[in-house]
Amino acid sequence: MLLFSLNLSAQIDSSIQLRTVQINSIRNENNSTGLKQEKTDSLIKMISIDKSMGTVLSEQSPALVKNYGPGALSSVSMRGGSAYHTAVLWKGFSLANPMNGVMDFNLLPTFLFEDISIQYGGATAIWGSGAVSGVIHLNDNNTFINRNSLKVGSRYSNASGWANFIDGKFSIKNFSSSIKLFLTDEKNAYPFQQDDEMKKQVHAESKGSGLIAENTYSINTTTAINFNFWYQYANRNIAPVMTEAISNAVQRDRNYRYNITFTKDGNKGRFAFRNAYFNESLYYNDSALSQPSNSLCKTFISEPEYSYAFNEHHSIQTGINFTKINAITAEYNQEEEVIRESIYLSYRFQFRKLILSASARKEFNNYEKPPFAFSLGANYKMNSWIKLLANYSTVYRNPQVNDLYWQPGGNIDLLPETGYTYEGMIDLDLLHFARKIHNDTNAISIQLTAFNKNIDNWIAWTPHGILWTPGNIKSVHSYGSESVFIFRKQFAKTGIRLSAFYGYTVSETTSSEIPYDASVGKQLIYVPFHKAGGTFSVYYRKSIVSVNHTFTGVRFINTDNSDLLESYGLSNVQIDQRIDMKNNSLGAFFRIDNLFNTDYQSVQNRPQPLRTYSIGINLTFRQQKNHS
């Protein structure tokens, strides 16, 4: 937790929080004992308001972000796993498209979520299929406030274009609502360098819109209903690769997501009935090809959960998950239905400085027969400044619906990817060691984590003759370390803050079903051995200056490691200023991205902008203070 307050707190959230209704899921960090967790702090959230989740993760974490360019696909993988190995959960419901398994982080504007946290490591027993290398939690605060507010903002970037947003929050008696709306219109006609020539990106226009409405009705002090709706639309031209003269490809993503949760608190127990319905459409048309592709997917999830604390030492959590997926595209023989049911149980023991937990999940489905998954974790507070964490988990990832049914090639006999992962972490509070008080404004801490992960039955599409089909073709061993350093210091009206990370990742193919496969013993493509970064901020009264730098090491682009993409460093600098006017405030920022004009590639032959400039402005209107 990298909370940040003081002068900034007012700027970040000027409303007083009355009470927080815990709705997102009963399962939370308590179940993930022994795993590393990071919460994106308020300052980072505030200075990243116009950025996508992909950009924020790329700047702030050792996660690998494959970015196909402004407006285009952005995928995230952690700890040497595949992009399918990171579960993205909105209030505990998985967001990845069940058909292709892809989560496009460019379609996740940071401003939509009040609460973003990253959990590293395997958590299949708790969150189900896909929580193999990590979980990204997107939540809201479900907060009742005493002052209604409306915030409107715009950003213009000379690389991409316009992004506009509105964020309204209000509470009436037992009802609280938050509505966020955004509209983007990006040309993405940026200049880039190819060989020694300057070119201009073409056919990369993107238009997007979205609405997220989160409502909580508190029936009484122990019972609440939470209803959420999220609509999003993106219409994007797919830019040509550097090797192509032109592109005619168009992609349209349209998603309707609903969820409704009923919670009832008892004396020692808590019951939640969680339900979600997602309706997703993906249209892709390359006019150079013969026929457009349209994929439609409806997912229904129902999840009753119950937690019970026997006493201060022992507690359990249990639940049932029912998921029904109906998917159709011209490439399937018919509409395909996949039903997955699972049951999970988690036990937690707390005694003085020690927390132990054990979780287990068994999933039942018609096809892949996923294995029993379990995890064991421990947190131990050795003394006032040293905390130790350890976790062992078995993990799995089910095949996607396309893997099973796509014609030609779909393979109904695919097995889930399975494996195990373990990790250990030491968390050092150095300020406490120096007998000083650690708080929101003063901190020096170091976290060192080491992890290991083995995955078998790794799924990949490979040709059989000329027909491509997915198979369980290899085993992969990943290991490495993550280091985090945090420094916060406050002097009168000035404060400084530094957070830095370094990730070292080895991810090797250990065996392959393909004869004479030279990838055995080699690093997986696109996994950098080294990724490091840091954000340094100085604030004085209502002004902030922030500098961010990230370094991404070389990444191989061929499985025999014969060719690579160069390492690169990217820096940006941002100035934020706020002016208060009674209840209202005006905020503005100016940012220079890619400060040193670095010519780099995140994905082979996908051009990235050189130095670019962004300017943003936002206005916050707040209701007069009332007496509550």
Partner 1 sequence: MKLKSTLLFFLVLTTFSCKKDTEDQTPTKSFEANADGIYISNEGGFTAGKASITYSDGTEAETIQDVFRIANDENLGDVCHSMAAINGLIYLVVNNSSKIEVVQPLTMKKVKTISGLTSPRFIVKATPDKAYVSDLYSNQISIINLTTNTVSGSINLTGSTEDMLLYNGKMYVTNLSTAFLYVIDAATDVVEDSIAIGSGGNSLQLDMNNKIWVLCGGDFVTSAPASLHRVDPATKTAELSLTFPTPDYPSQLCINETNDALFFLNTNVYKMQITDSTLPTTAFVDAAGKSFYAMGYDRISTLLYVSDAIDYQQAGRIYRYTSTGSEISGLPAGIIPGDFLFLNN
Among 223, 366, 407, 543, binds partner 1 (CB under 8 A): 407
Q: How far is the CB of 284 from partner 1 (least distance, A)?
A: 15
CA distance 275 to 332: 28
Least distance (Å) between residue 234 CB and partner 1 = 22
Distance between CA atoms of residues 547 and 531, nearest Å: 17
Query: Of the candidates 513, 577, 595, 623, which one interacts with partner 1 according to CB under 8 A?
Result: 513
One of 311, 515, 624, 627 touching partner 1 (CB under 8 A) = 515
Q: Is 238 helix (H, G, I), strand (E, B) or coil?
A: coil
Q: Which of 605, 611, 619, 621 binds partner 1 (CB under 8 A)?
A: 605
Asked whether 98 and 278 are in contact (CB, 8 A), the reply is no
Q: What residues are paired with 613 via a beta bridge?
A: 592
* Rounded CA separation 120/395 (Å): 13
Query: Contact letters (x/-) for partner 1, 357-396, by CB under 8 A?
Result: ----------------------------------------
Cα R_g (the chain), whole angstroms? 24
Query: What sign does the CA torsion over 455, 461, 462, 467 have?
Result: positive
Q: How far is the CB of 110 from partner 1 (least distance, A)?
A: 24
Quote the least distance from Cβ 280 to partner 1, whole Å: 24
Question: Is there binding between residue 22 and partner 1 (CB under 8 A)?
Answer: no
Concatenated DSSP letters of 158-217 = SSSEEEEEEEEEEEETTEEEEEEEEEEEE----EEEETTEEEE--S--EEEEEEEEEEEE
User: What is the rounded distance in angstroms from the CA atom of residue 425 to the CA atom of residue 283?
Assistant: 44
Q: Which is nearer to partner 1, 192 or 344 (CB)?
A: 192
Q: Does 485 bind partner 1 (CB under 8 A)?
A: yes
* For partner 1, the closer CB: 193 or 567: 567
Among candidate residues 59, 101, 132, 191, the one with its CA nearest the CA of residue 599: 191
* Contact positions with partner 1 (CB under 8 A) in 285-314: 288-290
In the complex with partner 1, the residue whose CB is nearer, 10 or 557, is 557
Angle at 115 between CA 114 and CA 117, to 5 degrees: 150
We find the least distance from the C-beta atom of residue 319 to partner 1, in angstroms, to be 40
* 245 is a site residue for partner 1 (CB under 8 A): yes
Among residues 100, 559, 608, 620, the one that binds partner 1 under rule CB under 8 A: 559
d(C-alpha 486, C-alpha 424), whole Å: 19
Residue 58 within binding range of partner 1, rule CB under 8 A: no
**Residues touching partner 1: how many (CB under 8 A)?**
55
Binding mask 148-187 for partner 1 (x = CB under 8 A): ----------------------------------------
Strands 93-94 and 336-351: unpaired
Q: How far is the CB of 572 from partner 1 (least distance, A)?
A: 13
Establish if 514 lies at the interface with partner 1 (CB under 8 A). yes
Omega of the bond prior to 408 within 30 degrees of 0, cis? yes
Q: Which one of residues 604, 619, 621, 623 is an interface residue with partner 1 (CB under 8 A)? A: 604
Asked if residue 496 binds partner 1 (CB under 8 A), the reply is yes
Instruction: Mark the segment that binds partner 1 (CB under 8 A) among 235-243, 263-271, 389-397, 417-425.
Output: 235-243
Distance CA 488, CA 496 (A): 6
How buried is 188 (Cβ within 10 angstroms: 0-12 exposed, 13-18 middle, 19+ buried)?
buried
For position 322 contacting partner 1 by CB under 8 A, the verdict is: no
Q: How many CB atoms within 10 Å of residue 329?
A: 20
**C-alpha 540: how far from chain center:** 31
- The residues of the shown chain that bind partner 1, judged by CB under 8 A, are 241-245, 288-290, 407-408, 444, 460, 462-467, 485, 487, 489, 496, 498, 500, 502, 512-519, 525, 532, 534, 536, 549-551, 553-554, 557-560, 562-564, 566-567, 569, 571, 604-605
